[in-house]
Amino acid sequence: MVVDDVLDAVLKGLARGEQQFGTKARVILCCIRQRSEWSWDILRLCEKYKERGVVGIDLAGDEGLVSESESFTKSDVECAVFQAAKEKGIHRTVHACEEGPAICVKKAVEMFGAERIGHGYRVLEDEEIYKMCQQENIHFEICPHSSYLTGDVQSLTTPSKRHPILRFAEDEVSFSINSDDPTLTHTRLSDEYKLLISWGFTEAHLTRANFQV
């Protein structure tokens, strides 16, 4: 079995689920910083299955960046792949600013043409970069429970340690609500909703987040 067979099966299953439950599902294929040798093949799959529900390419893995002088990539391959993706009209997501500093988001946007940021919590540490994200309508994929379990935010309950999603909601920044990895966090999207409602989110907040996905 090759990766094409796996993706084909996934897309068939999602299409069947859409018909059965009246919902919509799309796929973003993810590159890994530590496995840049896979990246061109991921782009190939994005292009091959573009008409069957694959809508974007992502880059995840250790950011490995603690200061502006350091490199945001493990190799030049990722930049080339994402530039090619942009030229092919494939949407681009980059995991950034989950653990790394706010400059990671700026590099993701400028170097990779990122339209979406996976996590991005620490972008609030730099108001100038945060303002850039607002002006360019950068989307943030927020995972409330996961952000606490990974140590990226310090508390889910302490008022003085507000989760970044609350600031995003106040500023009407584009964001979505995600469960990240249910097999590890043991949470579902409904659990994330319940948590956010306990923080004061309304049905309008949740609806807006879903439409922004």
How far is C-alpha 100 from the geometric centre of its chain's CA atoms? Answer: 15
For residue 148, which of 187, 206, 190, 116 has the smallest C-alpha distance? 187
- How many CB atoms lie under 10 A from the CB of residue 191? 15
- How many CB atoms lie under 10 A from the CB of residue 9? 11
Catalytic, out of 63, 70, 78, 98: 98
**From start to end of the chain, where are the E strands?**
27-32, 54-60, 91-96, 116-119, 139-142, 175-177
Is 172 an annotated catalytic residue? no
For residue 64, give every residue at least 6 positions away whose Cβ sits within 8 Å of its Cβ, in sequence order, or none: 33, 70, 71, 72, 74, 100
Known catalytic residues? 98
